[in-house]
Structure 1
Amino acid sequence: MPGGPGSYGLGVVKATKARAERLQNATGALATAAMAAMDAKLPWFAKLSAQDRSWIGLVAQSGISAFVEWFRDPDEHSSMPTRIFGSAPREFTRVISLHQTVDLVRTTIETIENTIGTLLPPDDVPIVHEAMQRYAREVAFAAATVYAQAAEMRGAWDARLEALLVDSVIRGEADESVRSRASALGWTGAAGTTGSAEVAVVVGRAPATTSTEGGSTVADMVRHAAREAGADALCAVQGDRLVVVLGGTSKPVEIVQKLAQWFGPGPIVVGPVVKDLMSAVASARAAVAGLRAAPAWPGAPRPVQADELLPERSLSGDGHARRQLANEVYGPLTVGDGVLLDTVSAYLDSGGSIEATARAMFIHANTVRYRLKRVADITEYNPLDPRDAFTLRVALTLGRLLNPEPGSSVL
């Protein structure tokens, strides 16, 4: 009966429904006013295509209609603010940024607040205004969620694309499509701060976990550290190994020293520098072979260049390393009368004794020293250094096995 206990609640419900109906009737005018305000207040809005502006108009109208439904019963339609972006295509997040979306929401809310006074009775205005403030907060959270999900999807796709690119480099399948896809991931292909556009492939053991405490992946941290050092980087975890393709640097070892903390324990091998991404397979091949052979040199530096592991790579079955030692170390020593080859061979056979070498060859010790210095100048391996002497020993053995003609190279 009138004036009973439920009459007050019933009156509130009726008043809310009446206000909701009046709001419903005003949605068209509010949407039109919101679009006009965007055009007037947001300079970037006018630069969008007609299709993109149309999508934004649909989102704005959807948001106003959703507000009306939410205003009728906030509890029943509590998820309504999160659904207002459903009318926009996935590409919507690529057209405008999160900051621009916040500007759109702010402009729409301000327009509604300034317009409802002329469209609704005075008694409705403060109630609708308060509801709009609550609703705007929910819309802001919804917008952030949409962009976070879009970023997560792009991140997952970028990670897959990056892994495919690194795999193509490792397998020697790099072509023009690899260059364009790398560019889409931020690979500039231009000279970095070091003034070089060259490329080197780095291989090491993957860390036990590929995620950091902050939620970033190891690949993210490697790319960030490489950019800080002035280089491009593509990164992928392949089973138990971490592969990094560095670009824009002629001194990759210096860059890798800053990235070493993101690798797992064990050796880190840096392939030779090549001219561009299309040629990176040669660097990758040497780096992978070096990682396989690195356990044979326990005292190797970390990182170590693949060319420093030529003896171990040769012994482990790397044909490229064998030919490189035969061509670049043994070959030059055979030019001319072969006296340098004979001298370094006698020196190695005598256990590294200059005096014993001189006696065996019936020459003065200073002559031996002079010839050994010539060997170091020509091959860049010093016979007086134990590590270089080992490399020379392997190179001479391989050269004799492959039996190149004097002055020629092994194919």
Structure 2
Amino acid sequence: MAAKGHKARAERLQNATGALATAAMAAMDEKLPWFGKLSAQDRSWIGLVAQSGITAFVDWFRDPDAHSSMPTRMFGSAPREFTRVISLHQTVDLVRTTIEMIENTIGELLPSEDIPFVHEAMNRYAREVAFAAATVYAQAAEMRGAWDARLEALVVDSVIRGEADESVRSRASALGWTGSGTANAGTAGSAEVAVVVGRAPSSEPGSTNVADAVRHAAREAGADALCAMQGDRLVIVLGGTSKPVEIVQTLAEFFGPGPIVVGPLVKDLMSAVTSARAAVAGLRAAPAWPGAPRPVHADELLPERSLSGDGHARRQLATDVYGPLTMGDGVLLDTVSTYLDSGGSIEATARAMFIHPNTVRYRLKRVGEITGYSPGNPRDSFTLRVALSLGRLLNPEPGAGVL
């Protein structure tokens, strides 16, 4: 007898679905201000989901055991773009509005003896619908996250390979890249970019996504970041900072053991291949300087990079270091060359050149001012020696200009 009564209630509820769906759309339009601003197509999608939900509730009400998956399947009638049209918060508002409408309307459509049974079923069903909505949005978020990760890897790979163009800039913008960071946002000339390369961290089950952590930490430090794993190395493209080494010091924990090389600053993402080339060459040459700081700027590795076969580093040393020393009468070139050959002794240099030691000191000071490398510093003297050797190889005629 109870089963027969339940079947009758289900039939009466089935007959009321059309009126309930119409009332649901009217309630949404009345109580949800944002609903009326949607396009006709978007509203039709939502109406389809509402109709599907009410129909699914009736089927579930008729036999909960046979239709236990109905709450989850009700969102299947909506296209994937549904999650982009309205937020999870708005979806909750829709569900709440629909349930309230059914509770307020059901008394006009069904006999009074059916109301307690329908209300009890609605409470159970609403809980399942809430979980179903959360599942739909969680799956959509995971799909977007996976797509964003692939897109980000594509952008970083294009930068490394020197194929950055307007399409790459557009893709980076879709990922939230502005190139201006946060601390420098709105500052003219602040959109500088540097590429950072280091060893990839060892992957551990359950570890936090490195790319997400890097972007968050960079944002906290006032910079934009794009991040990608490329084999055994981690590549980060930093934007919106004039002090990338300081930013990378806060990101060092995300790299694996070994050197971290920061490429030179360039004006924008389109020019980032120059920074990437220097950073990658620096990572390859870094083992030749065991005492290098971590992180280290690629320009600090110019001698090691030149020895490892980096033609750009060779030309930079010959042009920026050797070239200025050949200008004029070439006395600075002769002085620093003699100083290095004399084992760094000012007195021995003065005797070899028949000049006063103070003259040697003055000339060495000028060398440091012109080149940025102090001959009295062991590291700088090594760079100067390599630069002089490269300059003589590339340009054997002093004063004639560097090739």
Residue by residue over 1:272-307, the C-alpha shift from the partner in whole angstroms, topping out at 9 and shown as x without a partner, is 000000000000000000000000000000000000
Partner of 1:6 in structure 2?
A: none
Q: What is residue 308 of structure 1 aligned with on the other side? A: 300
Alignment equivalent of 1:199, drawn from 183, 190, 193:
193
What is the rounded CA distance, in whole Å, between the counterparts of 2:195 and 2:206 in structure 1?
Answer: 23
Normalised to the residue count of structure 2, the TM-score between the two structures is: 0.97
Cα deviation, residue 188, structure 1:
1.1
| Residues 283/408 of structure 1: CA separation in 2 closer, same or farther (3 Å cut) | farther
Partner of 2:39: 49
Residues 51-106 of structure 1: per-residue CA shift (max 9 Å, x gap): 00000001001000000000011111000100001110000000000111011001
The answer to whether the 8 Å contact 1:404/1:410 transfers is no
2:227 corresponds to 1:219: no
Letter in 2 for 1:171: R
Name the amino acid aligned to 2:102. I
User: Structure 2 matches for 1:3-402, cutoff 5 A?
Assistant: 11-190=1-180, 192-194=182-184, 195=187, 196-209=190-203, 213=207, 216-402=208-394
What is the deviation of 1:406? 4.2
Q: Is the 8 Å Cα contact of residues 179 and 193 (structure 2) preserved in structure 1?
A: no
User: Percent of aligned pairs with the same residue?
Assistant: 86
Distance 1:394 1:211, change over 3 A: farther
Q: What secondary structure does 1:174 align onto?
A: coil
Question: Structure 1 residues 264 and 409 mapped into 2: Cα distance closer, same or farther (>3 Å)?
Answer: farther
Q: Whole-Å Cα distance in 1 between the matches of residues 130 and 113 of structure 2? A: 27
Cα distance between partner residues in 1 of 2:45 and 2:355: 90
For the structure 1 residues 164 and 330, does the alpha-carbon distance in structure 2 shift closer, same or farther, using more than 3 Å as the test?
same
**Is the contact made by 1:332 and 1:379 (CA closer than 8 Å) also made in structure 2?**
yes
- 1:190 to partner: Cα distance: 3.4
2:120 match: secondary structure: helix
- AA of the residue aligned to 1:249: T
How far residue 113 of structure 1 moved from its aligned partner, in angstroms, is 0.6
The answer to whether the 8 A contact 1:199-1:247 is kept is yes
Alignment-mate amino acid for residue 15 of structure 2: N
Whether the 8 Å CA contact 1:197–1:249 is kept in 2: the answer is yes
8 Å Cα contact 1:192-1:249 kept in structure 2:
no
| Aligned residues of 1:208 and 1:264 also touching (Cα < 8 A) | yes
Letter in 2 for 1:394: V
Change (3 A) 1:408 1:272: farther
Does the CA-based 8 Å contact 2:181-2:222 persist in structure 1? no
Q: In the alignment, is the contact (CA less than 8 A) between 1:23 and 1:120 conserved in 2?
A: yes
Residue 192 of structure 1 deviates from its aligned partner by 3.8
Which secondary structure does the structure 2 equivalent of 1:140 belong to? helix
Cα root mean square deviation, aligned: 1.1
Question: Residues of 1 paired with 2:12 and 2:334: CA distance?
Answer: 104
Indicate the larger mover: 276-285 or 26-35. 26-35
Q: Is the 8 A contact 1:343 1:368 kept in 2?
A: yes
Name the CA distance, whole Å, in 2 between partners of 1:210 and 1:285: 30
Letter in 1 for 2:43: R
Q: What amino acid maps onto 1:270 in structure 2?
A: V
Shift in Å at residue 403 of structure 1? 1.3
- Partner AA of 2:87 in structure 1: S
Please list every run of 5 or more consecutive structure 2 residues that lacks an aligned counterpart in the other structure: none
Per the alignment, in what secondary structure is the counterpart of residue 259 of structure 1? Answer: helix
The residue type paired with residue 283 of structure 2 is L
- C-alpha distance in 1, partners of 2:399/2:165? 35
Number of residue pairs the alignment of both structures matches: 399
CA contact (8 A) 1:268 1:303 kept: yes
Contact 2:179 2:240 in 1 (8 A): yes
- Pairwise CA distance, 1:336: 0.3
Map Cα deviations across residues 122-174 of structure 1 (whole Å, 9 max, x no partner): 11101100100000000000000000111111111111111111000000000
CA distance in 1: counterparts of 2:398 and 2:132, whole angstroms: 76
1:34-61 deviation line (CA, Å, top 9, x unaligned)? 1111111111111100000000001001
Cα distance in 2 for residues equivalent to 1:409 and 1:146:
67
Equivalent-residue separation in structure 1 for 2:92 and 2:332 (angstroms): 76
**Matched residues in 2 for 1:285 and 1:97: separation?**
42
